[in-house]
Every structure is written in C-alpha cells, then in structure tokens.
Structure 1
Amino acid sequence: MPLQPIEPGPDPRIQHETTVLNSFTYHYLLGVPPGGNFKATIFLIHGWPDLSLGWRYQIPLLLDMGFRVVAPDMMGYGGTDAPKVPPNPINLYGIKRASDDIAELAKQLGAERIILGGHDWGGFVVWRAAQWHPELVSHVFAICTPYTAPHEQYTSLEDLVKGALPQFAYQIHLASGEVEKSVNSEESIRQFFKGLYGGRGPNGETAFDPNQGVLAENLPKVGESRLLHGKVLDHYVKEYSRHGIHSTLNWYRTRKTNWEEDLALLDRKTISIPTLFVQATYDSVLKPELSRNMDTYLPNLTRGEVAATHWALTQKPDEVNAIIRKWLEGQGFGTRSSL
C-alpha cells in the first residue's frame, strides 16, 4: 500500500513546532518514527512558491525508513517570520542566513550531523549549507536544483538572461515588485497557485512563463490544478495570506548579497560528502544541461532523473521517493531503523 502524504493541519505522523532561530521565529514540521528512535535526522528545505508541506509525499517515506524529519517554513513563508526589507537587510533572505538558521535548529534539536534535502531555492540552500557548515552536514540531495560553484566575478541577473539563461527572465519579474500588485488578496493568491501549479484557462492560457514571469492578465482565467487542489490548496492560500506574497519574493532580490557572501567559499567549491541530484527532465527553467558539469565539484555524486516538470516532488512522488530510498540505502541507511 503506497504511503499517504502528510495532511495539512493535524496529522498524527508529525508535529507543528515553532522556535526562535537567530532572533526570528520559525515554524517547522517535526516527524519522529513510532517508538521515538531514529537512525539520523533529515532536514527538508522547500523553495518558491512552496511550504514545508511541499515535502508531504517524502516525509512518510523517510519516517518509514527510520529517520527523524525536520521541514521548516523558510524565511518569509507560512508560519515563519517575514521581516520587512527595508528597514531590515535583504540578506535575511539570503542563502547564508538560511544555512545558519538550519545549523541553529539542528543544534536546538541535538543533531550533531544531519542529512539535507532541498528543492528549488531549497536546493541552492542545501548545497551552500554543506559548504558553510561542513562539520554538520553528512549527506546532501537536491531535487531539480543543480549545484553551482561560488564565482569570483559577479554576473547580474539581467546579463545572465541576455546570455546563456533566457529562461531566468521570470526572476527579474518576481524581484521587480510587479507581482504583488496583482497577487494581493485571498482570491488572487488562490488563482496564482492554480496557475503556477499547472492550471490553464479555457483556451489554454497559462499563468507563468519562464521568459516573462507571472502573467497577471491570465490569473482570473485559470482553472483547477491537478497538482495543488482541495484542502492542500486551501492550506497554501491560508499560509500565503499571512504575510502576502511580497516576503517570499525577497529571495529573488538577493543575487548580489548571495554572491558577496559566497566569496568566503571560493576555496570550498568541492563538496566531497555523498550527494544525490535528481533531474526533472521536463523542468522548463532548471533544464538538464545546467547540471552537465556538476561532477567536477561533486566527486561523490549519484544522479537520478524523473520524467516530470519542476513540481517533481508532487507530480511523480513514487519515482522521486524510489530514487531517494535507493540512494539512502546505498549510503548504509537500511529500510527501517534497527534501534
């Protein structure tokens, strides 16, 4: 019988916890295998526009395998604080800050070593967290997000889009402040999620284009999404209505500060611990060719792929889970805890 995804709201397999990490309050999901014993702790880091519940299909697998699972809402999302910028500095939404907050949460939970898994922005976070906190992270896996090494030279998003990555143009739109003008109410947030997760209008209208961004004029037209609907959609709408969408978009305003902080990692480009990268072959932004040279910096890399779009975690959960399970078992973590 396939494992059932974590439910929004009460679910006996997880607890909803809050804590203060480096002066800001975080909400996170905590799951412990029955009996309270676990073989290791896995942190699952979500991206945009997602929440900790984006891992709802993976958490049951990992609990079943005997892991303690921690899935936070990242800065600006859901039940976690969303500090305003300004007056606060934008690096509160940067990758180093996220890495440091993960390390602090691990410390609070008494985890001396953790396994890190990430998707989308969460993928960028987990690669860098392994570099910022090498003493903490024992294994890393990323879904959709390839590893990119720190760079000595800064390249603006605009130059990146003019050059090799035209499909990153949406990030310019997300950072611009325009999206908040059309996604600013409970109903528009609902339509936004339907559209971002694949809903279409009566004539095939889409709500997102990698080369443009969010297509505000199409938001009222889009219908139901097969990937995000019902009570899960209701949960996302409720959680995003707490702070509005603006704070989540601050992650797209951090390119310069992330590069500046990355300069301290130029001598740590190689990640030698065991790593797993799962490519979604139909990802329209993080395309397969972007992962071509990862092996240069990841000597312990395992690759997997699923025939899915960017939403592989929920579109093809069984395939994603099978790859994660096989990799973890290959790293010496048996199917179930022997403790």
Structure 2
Amino acid sequence: MALDSINPLNDPRVKHCYANLNAIQYHYLLAEPPGGFWGTIFLIHGWPDLSMGWRNQIPFLLSLSYRIVCPDIIGFGRTAAPPVSPPTSNPTTNIEYYSFKRAASDIAELARQLNCPKIILGGHDWGGAIVYRVSLWYPDLVSHIFSVCTPYKAPTSTYIPLEEVVKGWPHWTYQVVLASGVVEEHIKTPENIKQFLNALYGGKGEKGEVGFSVTKGPIWENLGKLRRTSLVGEEVLGWYVREYERNGVGASVNWYRNREVNFKDELQLTKKTINVPVLFIQGTRDEALPPSMSEGMEGLIPNLTRREVKTGHWALWEAPEKVNGFIAEWLRKVDRGEKSNL
C-alpha cells in the first residue's frame, strides 16, 4: 500500500490556521477526523523543517481518531520571526522568543484556545527538545510524549557554553557554525535556500559530495554540485523554499543561539522529572543525535519505551511506516489500553 501523505500544495484534510499566542502570531495546521476524535496530538517540528514535516504522520494519526495540531514554531514558515540582535552566537535582543520556556508557554496557550485540557506531544529534532520542556513547565497539560531522534537531557545547574560542549561532542560543531551568523551571509536568494535545504535533506553530488557535515557545518562550495535529495520531491522542495522565503533561513538558526537563556530559565526546573509515558524512537544512523546521546534516559524518565529505526536524522521521511507503527503500538498500550483495536 502506498504511503498516505499530506500534499503541502493542496490537501483538504488540513486547515491552515492562525492564532495570537502571547502577542505573537502563529501559523498551525489543524486536522480533525470526521467522526470525532479520541484526543489531541500536538506535533512539533525541528530544524530545518516546518509543520509540514509531519506530512507522513498526519493521515495515519487521523485514521486513529486523533485531532492533529502542527504549529510552525517561532522563526519558521508562516509564524512570526522576531529578529535577534546581533544575529550572532551572543544576541542580546529578542533571543528569549526562541527559548524553550517561551515555546512551552505558546503551546500551552494554543491548547487553551483549542479547549484541550490534556494533550499528547510528539516532537522531532528541536521539536523533540521542546516537548520534553513543555512537560516540565506544564505537567498537568501533557498526558504522553513521543520524540523521534531527540533524546532527553535534563535541566542542569551548571552552565556549559556550546563552544565547550563541542570539545566532547564534536558532532555538534555545526551548531556553533550555524549560530555564528554565516547562514545569513550566504543564504539570501530562493536559489540559495533551495540548495541549502537540499544539502540538509541529504542531497549528494555525482562524486558523493555533501553540502553539510555535523563536524563542519555547511560546505558552501559544494551546494551547487548536489543532485536533488531522494527524501522530498521537486514540488515539496519548492514548497519548502517558498515557506522559508517568508522569514529567511537566518531566522530559524536563532534556535542555536538560545543556550544561555534556556539555562537561566531552567534553573527552577532542575528538581522536576517527567513522569508521563514517553516513547523515544532513535535513528540509529543519526549523526547529529547519535545513539550514544540517549544513554541513561531510563534513569531520568521512569516510564520510558525505546524503539529504533535504521535511519539518519530524517526518520519521519526515511521510515514513516516504521515510525507510525511504533507510535500506534505505544498509543495502544498507554493511551487506549492493551485491549484496544487501535
């Protein structure tokens, strides 16, 4: 059976909606099963993605009678993108908009506006990091969490700058590069955006050239040599480019400049734990979030279920049927009860 996926260009199963959340205009996708819904799932995307990154999961979760809410997070797509100043690794203005605390507050407000006393949260990449934090800030709101690729790291009382982190985790060097301001310098036109996204989505050149490395960041000289990635078609890639034109790719990398503000916010969370059921799906070939990073999660999350897929970072696109199957299996147990025919 062919995978049922949302068409970003025109699909009647999703509505493009807008909401004012704590004085910021957000865009979100809303999908509701026609026969009523069992519960509401918020799906939170990462970088460099958009709400439509869940296009392979939305129809499947609809078929399980869940209402689906997929926001573009701040700085992405059709949601507002407050400019930070200076656009470097140490901004002093507006960086709080790109914090986990702010994201959690905005998600909680959207849930309130949609009359959701409880929500299930799913996340990928930055979205995975965000959903854990929503549970810490708003424990009464979140009933279950699933995260694809992103492991849980608890708030800490010791601040370690990213430049120090990469000495032990060289696979995060790309984050230092992205935060530095070079993206804004290089990516200015629609063609630049297309080449950049194609590189991030796995496009390769005739001789195996890549346009992005976790230990180097963007490899600018290779971007024009890459063939289109096999993970997205030309129409979908074009749609992503047009969406990123709204705010520019530079707005999205503000999420790599938020480490210190998150640390300061979360000093009050260091003694809190996540007690709701959590499903973590590891991409075994994810270079940015390798399996070693998830070691010890059992000691931090008492109700943890682990699964894995043999993919890189884009597990939602590389192995959607497998990911969907794991989510359904888990929901059957933790949300519907073992005897459910989900």
Which SS does the other structure have where 1:267 is aligned? Answer: coil
1:190-209 aligned within 5 A: 190-209=194-213
Amino acid at match of 1:82: A
The match for 2:5 is 5
Which SS does the other structure have where 1:142 is aligned? Answer: strand
The match for 1:80 is 79
Matched, 1:50 2:49: yes
Q: Distance in 2 between matches of 1:203 and 1:289?
A: 30
Identity %, equivalent residues: 50
Question: Contact (CA 8 Å) 1:65, 1:335: kept in 2 or not?
Answer: no
Q: Distance in 1 between matches of 2:148 and 2:243?
A: 23
Q: Distance in 1 between matches of 2:187 and 2:224?
A: 11
Amino acid at match of 2:334: Q
Q: Offset at 1:332?
A: 3.6
Amino acid at match of 1:135: D
The match for 2:106 among 101, 106, 120 is: 101
Runs of at least 4 residues off by over 4 Å: none
The match for 1:276 is 279
Q: Distance in 2 between matches of 1:19 and 1:13?
A: 19
What runs of 5+ residues in structure 2 fail to find an aligned partner? 86-91
Matched, 1:112 2:117: yes
What are the Cα deviations for residues 115-147 of structure 1, in whole angstroms up to 9, with x where unaligned?
Answer: 000000000000010000001000011000000
1:23-172 aligned within 5 A: 23-35=23-35, 37-86=36-85, 88-163=93-168, 165-172=169-176
The match for 1:312 among 301, 310, 315 is: 315
Amino acid at match of 1:307: K
Q: Distance in 1 between matches of 2:180 and 2:16?
A: 33
Q: Distance in 1 between matches of 2:233 and 2:11?
A: 18
Question: Contact (CA 8 Å) 1:3, 1:61: kept in 2 or not?
Answer: no
Which SS does the other structure have where 2:205 is aligned? Answer: coil
Q: Distance in 1 between matches of 2:341 and 2:295?
A: 31
Question: Contact (CA 8 Å) 2:45, 2:123: kept in 1 or not?
Answer: yes
The match for 1:16 is 16
What are the Cα deviations for residues 301-339 of structure 1, in whole angstroms up to 9, with x where unaligned?
Answer: 000000000000001101100100100011143455xxx
Which SS does the other structure have where 1:102 is aligned? Answer: helix
Matched, 1:330 2:329: no
The match for 2:249 among 241, 245, 249 is: 245
What runs of 5+ residues in structure 1 fail to find an aligned partner? none
Amino acid at match of 1:39: W
Q: TM-score, normalised on structure 1?
A: 0.96
Which SS does the other structure have where 2:270 is aligned? Answer: helix
The match for 1:174 is 178
Question: Contact (CA 8 Å) 1:45, 1:123: kept in 2 or not?
Answer: yes
1:200-219 aligned within 5 A: 200-219=204-223
Question: Contact (CA 8 Å) 2:3, 2:321: kept in 1 or not?
Answer: no
The match for 2:193 is 189
What are the Cα deviations for residues 281-302 of structure 1, in whole angstroms up to 9, with x where unaligned?
Answer: 0001111111110011111000
Which SS does the other structure have where 2:235 is aligned? Answer: helix
Query: Cα RMSD (Å) of the superposition?
Result: 1.1
Question: Contact (CA 8 Å) 1:144, 1:278: kept in 2 or not?
Answer: yes
Amino acid at match of 1:51: L
Matched, 1:285 2:284: no
Aligned length: 333
Question: Contact (CA 8 Å) 1:14, 1:31: kept in 2 or not?
Answer: yes
Q: Offset at 1:14?
A: 1.0
Which SS does the other structure have where 1:257 is aligned? Answer: helix
Q: Offset at 1:180?
A: 1.7
The match for 1:298 is 301
What are the Cα deviations for residues 207-248 of structure 1, in whole angstroms up to 9, with x where unaligned?
Answer: 101011011111111111001222110110000011111110
Question: Contact (CA 8 Å) 2:82, 2:94: kept in 1 or not?
Answer: no
Change in 2 beyond 3 A, CA 1:191/1:175: same
The match for 1:220 is 224
Amino acid at match of 2:103: A
Q: Distance in 1 between matches of 2:226 and 2:305?
A: 38
